[in-house]
A and B are shown apart, each in its own frame.
Chain A
Amino acid sequence: MSIIEVKDLSFTYGIKTPFEKKAVDSLNLSINEGEIIGLIGHTGSGKSTFVQMLNGLIKPTSGQVFLNGEDIWAKPKEIRKIRFKVGMVFQYPEYQLFDETVYDDIAFGPKNMGLSGEDIDATVKKAAMFSGLSEKLLKKSPFDLSGGEKRRAAIAGVIAMDPDVLVLDEPTAGLDPKGKALLLSQINSYHRERNNTVIIVSHSMEDIAQIADRVLVMNKGRLEMFDTPKKVFAQADRLESMGLRVPQITKIMLTLKQKGYDVSDGVLTVEQAFCEIVSLLKKEGKI
């Protein structure tokens, strides 16, 4: 079943000014409940504008966003409720930490949703657990945490509102390989437990290849592709013409295929590439 449906969605910045610019141009798509969507596109392709329309932070110039079949702008006064259902983690969310303790910071969302004492406590602890923060960190000031911990604390603050759709804008930017792997696996296990819908915006093709069920490619405000990572990343030339890339391992295997070797396109992991090369070598009697 689709949880989000978008019809003829457009947004234009600076209407009737010299800076008028169509950031999102007639998008039509639907996202199924429980999917992990990877959203890619070059800077200025409209990704951020698009995701901000999903929870009503930006009101479309035209077109509609349906959440569980209902137009989110049907009752404009109740748009706040949508923001609890579609949780948004912005770029570099650690700069948005503000409270005295990590605990209070995570509790801010649930409090504003009107939860009371015990419920808040349970929610905060659960969100911290999902984000991989130990209980002893909860008493600390958020400013005393390491970069990776701060990032996870900020994400916990959004997870605490238990949104049906979790949108993460560049969640791994600036993290080292270890922090990146840890964060992606936390997001994945949270997703499996909660079976919610996750949308990840990223410039890291490797991350997207690893985690997404489907990849949404935006170019100049339009929907360019929307398919499985295997099918999307098999089209290296098309992605490159849009200023994007494919993971290095995918590129290696695609080049071999173009040279006439019997390998598949859309290889996404080193493990898979290894297996294919080994079976080729065996067939040829080289090992």
Chain B
Amino acid sequence: MSFISASGVKYAYEDSDKLALKGITLKVNKGEFVALLGHNGCGKSTMAKTLNALLTPSEGVIYVDGMDTSDEEVTYEIRRNVGLVLQNPDNQLVASIIEEDVAFGPENLGVEPAEIRRRVDNALKAVDMYEYRTHAPHKLSGGQKQRVAIAGILAMEPSCIVFDEPTAMLDPNGREEVMRTIKTLKEKGITIVLITHYMEEAVLADRVIVMDEGEILIQGEPEKVFSQVNLLKKHALDVPQATELAYKLIGAGLRFSKMPLNTDECVSLLEEALG
């Protein structure tokens, strides 16, 4: 069953006569991991904000777990259900002790104290930050801060988390920590929508959706989408270097059994070809 179902969604910002979303129709299944790609200004972040009713469509309708996002009666229920993690971890942490920060969400939902304790512990364990629970957030690395921000969302027990460029400000280690955490959440059955400019992150998704000028340009399994090297390049988007190399080699007359998306796949395909 689809968890998110958007049909004909249009959105225009108040001070603009241009549509940021030009009629998006989209389904995301329960437990699916979807990556949303596209250059700045293509409407990805606008789309993300419509998924937890921070913005409501000017036209069209979005159902989240069967609830209409335009129905104000269910706004809070939708926001509890769909968590949002943003780019800058420093802007998302509010308390001076990590476990208090994680407790902020459930406290505001009016959850019982004993239940808050249980949720905070579970959330911190899920992102592998439990042993830091009594530390101060400002002493952490970027990746650790971002994982605490994710724990803060988890403590509200959402069924879906939307990540808007969660690794843009992190160093290579921090990026890997966050991506590992996202994969764990996916295994726990949480629906994931990941907005990113990093192709090596997008290839980890079940499905990649590429947006351009407020519309969906192409979508499908990562292998299928990234094989369209020309189309993506024409729209000023990147493909992983592994895929680009294979694409060039195919142009030079080589045959591959599949399109490589990462280092290991590329190396083994090249080994096959070179013999």
Contacts and interface: CB of A to CB of B under 8 A. Distances in A.
A247 B173 CA distance: 14
A284 B171 contact: no
B189 to A, nearest CB: 30
B252 A280 contact: no
B197 A270 contact: no
A178 B39 contact: yes
A63 interface: no
A243 B175 CA distance: 11
A48 to B, nearest CB: 12
Given A175-B40, A248-B200, A270-B241, A278 B249 contact: yes
A261 B268 CA distance: 13
A218 B246 CA distance: 34
B137 to A, nearest CB: 14
B170 interface: yes
B237 A177 contact: yes
Interface in B50-72: none
Interface residues of A, number: 38
A56 interface: no
A147 B40 contact: yes
Nearest to A259: B271
Given A43-B174, A281-B273, A176 B254 contact: no
A43 B244 CA distance: 30
Interface string B241-268: 1101100110011100000001100110
A148 interface: yes
Given A174-B87, A270-B248, A43 B170 contact: yes
A245 interface: yes
A244 B238 CA distance: 22
A252 B242 contact: yes
A274 B248 contact: yes
Interface string A241-280: 0011101110110011001010000000010011001101
A267 to B, nearest CB: 10
B41 interface: yes
Contacts of A287: 252-254
A273 B51 CA distance: 42
B165 interface: yes
A221 B113 CA distance: 44
B31 to A, nearest CB: 29
Contact of B170 (A203, A252, A281): A203
Contacts, number: 107
Interface centre among B172, B238, B241, B249 (most CB of A within 10 A): B172
Interface in A142-184: 146-148, 173-179
Nearest to A44: B141
Nearest to B173: A243
Contacts of B197: 174-177
Contacts of A284: 274-275
B172 A280 contact: no
Contact of B40 (A146, A255, A259): A146
B261 to A, nearest CB: 10
Interface in A14-31: none
B20 to A, nearest CB: 13
Contacts of B111: none
Interface in B18-76: 38-41
Contacts of B217: none
A42 interface: yes
B236 interface: yes
Contacts of B8: none
A146 B41 contact: yes
B270 interface: yes
B169 interface: yes
Contacts of B275: 284, 286
A205 interface: yes
B168 interface: yes
Nearest to A243: B173
16 contacts: A146-B41, A177-B197, A177-B238, A247-B241, A248-B242, A252-B245, A252-B267, A259-B267, A270-B241, A270-B244, A270-B248, A278-B249, A286-B273, A286-B275, A287-B252, A287-B253
Interface of B: 38-41, 87, 141-143, 165, 168-174, 197, 200, 236-238, 240-242, 244-245, 248-249, 252-254, 262-263, 266-267, 270-271, 273-275
